[in-house]
Amino acid sequence: MSPARIVIVGGGFAGLRALYRLRSLGDRATITLVDPRSTSLARPSLPEVAFAAKPVEHSRFPLEHVVTRSGAHFVQRGVDHVRTGERQVVLDNGELLSYDFLLLALGARKAYDDVKGFDQYGYSLCDDEQAPRLARALEEFTGGPIVVGAAKSVWGTRVEVPNLAAPCEGPVAEIMFMLDYELRRRGLRERSSIRVFSPGRIFFEDVGPRVHADVEPLMARQGIEVTTGKVLDHLDAGSVTFEDATTWESALSIVLPPYRGSDVVARSPHLGDERDFIPTDTTMRHVDAPAVYAAGDATSLSMPKLGHIAVLQADIAAAALRQDLTGEGEVPPWRPEVFCIANRGGDQATLIYSNTLFGGDVDLTLDGASAHLMKWGFDSYYFHSAGHLPPDLATDGLEMALRAAH
Ligand SMILES: Cc1cc2nc3c(=O)[nH]c(=O)nc-3n(C[C@H](O)[C@H](O)[C@H](O)COP(=O)(O)OP(=O)(O)OC[C@H]3O[C@@H](n4cnc5c(N)ncnc54)[C@H](O)[C@@H]3O)c2cc1C
């Protein structure tokens, strides 16, 4: 039997994890990974690029080498659209790639253009252009009011998921704490205020009461004020205006833009939901196209949109695809959970582990230098192993230890 043709689109957290899971298919499959970038970008490292002088090179590593070393083909091109009927991917140069199975790991589009005034007056850190740009702006900053927050995102309705106003407020927490630390270090904190807004009913909608009880005193101690229910309208020189017509003075406006689904999905008939995210069942199979899987921020199901969830989804998608192909193996159950570590400047960080959003009873934090060391360990492992995570044994052990300690 000729090998099955598997095409993976996207070489971020989800795409690389799926590649590493599927490469053991050996000569039963030919795998092609498509991405327009020459490097894979680890977004969780970007706050350190913006606030802690980390070189941007340490947030990315070359893709071609890791893909070919895995026995797969690398195509450095953008995908324009997908023809699910013909099982073809159309590249941005018009070339076609035929597939037997497609795994879409395209990420989400950070819609900076949706924020009026962002191009002139806004800063962010969601990619490797914005984070160094913010670092440069901070170097020149001499004090004044700073406004930080996430714009409101809107979701489709094809898959039932928690309806969060912002899909990932962890970076907002990192920004405010790391900014506070950096301004104190430079003797500018007295001359600066940090005002944080959230479009949600509560800040950090995706975690439960115990995490809130642990994190809120940390914010109060650093003099950081958070206002909820504020939906960003536009940015001006010197101010941020909300939909409720209130305006905050701002010398530096740092915004996480709304998330939208990929343009590829928008251009592909019958692929996306109303917001161009990809609707899947809990095995990550497209609800209408059986040969199409999806994982990571591109899916309707990933909520909140976290690297940890992207990896869980990639494991499920790869196992389900393997089962389609070989009849072998178990597909892991879909058990989403929030697991992230937010740096707070210097050697301090807060680890958050919670599944209350999904009806579970885990809701805990680990705070201090040990959490910082873990984040450093995860990020270094990911960077030096080119997209691998610490072995399951280590992460499962960590989860068990955290549960036992609480
Ligand atoms: C500042 C910041 C900090 C974060 N910190 C954390 C954290 O501490 N912990 C955590 O768990 N999560 C964190 N996240 C979230 C995490 O980064 C994302 O959830 C994760 O990157 C999603 O992985 P992904 O593979 O789905 O998408 P991505 O990592 O975005 O990868 C998508 C890939 O698809 C490629 N692609 C896009 N369009 C095309 C196309 N047309 N054709 C081919 N390829 C294409 C892209 O080039 C990219 O390589 C953070 C996010 C941000 C913005």
Share of the chain above pLDDT 70, in %: 97
* pLDDT greater than 80 at residue 397: no
Candidates 283, 393, 296, 400; CA nearest to 334 is: 283
Q: Does residue 403 carry a pLDDT above 80?
A: no
Å from CA of 383 to ligand 1 middle: 14
From residue 282, give the alpha-carbon distance in Å to each of 274, 276, 312.
19, 18, 11
Please report which confidence band the pLDDT of residue 390 belongs to, taking 50, 70 and 90 as the band edges.
confident
Backbone angles phi, psi at 48, to 5 degrees: -70, -25
Q: Hey, which of 8, 34, 128, 168 would you mutate to test ligand 1's pocket, going by the most ligand atoms within 8 Å of its Cβ?
A: 168
Average of per-residue pLDDT across 268-272:
96
Residue holding tokens 């350190």? 48
| Sequence-distant (≥ 6) Cβ neighbours of residue 396 within 8 angstroms | none
**pLDDT mean over 153-180:** 96
> What are the CB-based long-range contacts (under 8 Å, 24+) for 290-294?
291/84, 291/87, 291/99, 291/100, 291/101, 291/102, 292/82, 292/84, 292/101, 292/102, 292/103, 292/104, 293/101, 293/102, 293/103, 293/104, 293/317, 293/320, 293/321, 294/103, 294/104, 294/105
Whether residue 394 has pLDDT greater than 70: no
Closest Cα partner for 47 from 183, 172, 184?
172
Number of the ligand 1 atom closest to the C-alpha atom of 131: 1
13 C-alpha vs ligand 1 centroid, how far in Å? Answer: 6
Give the angle 395-6-16 at the CA atoms, nearest 5°. 30
Other CB atoms within a 10 A radius of the CB of residue 30 amount to: 17
Range in 184-188, 289-293, 296-300, 377-381 with the lowest mean pLDDT: 377-381
Q: Mean of the pLDDT values across residues 356-369? A: 95
Res. 1 pLDDT band, cuts 50 70 90: confident
- Superfamily grouping for domain 4-40+60-109+260-326: FAD/NAD(P)-binding domain (3.50.50.60)
What is the reported pLDDT for 406?
65
Nearest CA residue ID for atom 26, ligand 1: 296
Mean pLDDT score, 345-373 = 96
Centre of ligand 1 from the C-alpha of residue 384, in Å: 18
Of the listed ranges 221-235, 358-372, 374-388, the one predicted with least confidence: 374-388
Residue 395 has pLDDT above 70, yes or no: no
Mean pLDDT of 308-327: 97
Instruction: Indicate the pLDDT class of residue 405, thresholds 50, 70 and 90.
Output: low
Look up residue 367 and give its two tokens.
């705070």
Residue 393 has pLDDT above 70, yes or no: no
Cα(43)–Cα(66) distance, integer angstroms:
18
pLDDT of residue 399: 72
pLDDT of res. 191? 96
pLDDT in tens, 37-63: 999 999 999 999 999 999 999 999 999
Ligand 1 is surrounded, with C-beta below 6 A, by 9-15, 34-37, 40, 43-44, 46-47, 78-79, 105-107, 125-126, 168, 170-171, 262, 264, 296-298, 305-308, 310, 340
CA 6 to centroid of ligand 1, rounded, Å: 21
Calculate the average pLDDT of the chain: 95
For ligand 1, atom 43: residue with the closest CA: 35
Residue of minimum CA distance from atom 1 in ligand 1: 126
What is the mean pLDDT of the segment spanning 134-144?
97
Q: In the chain, where are the structural domains located? A: 4-40+60-109+260-326
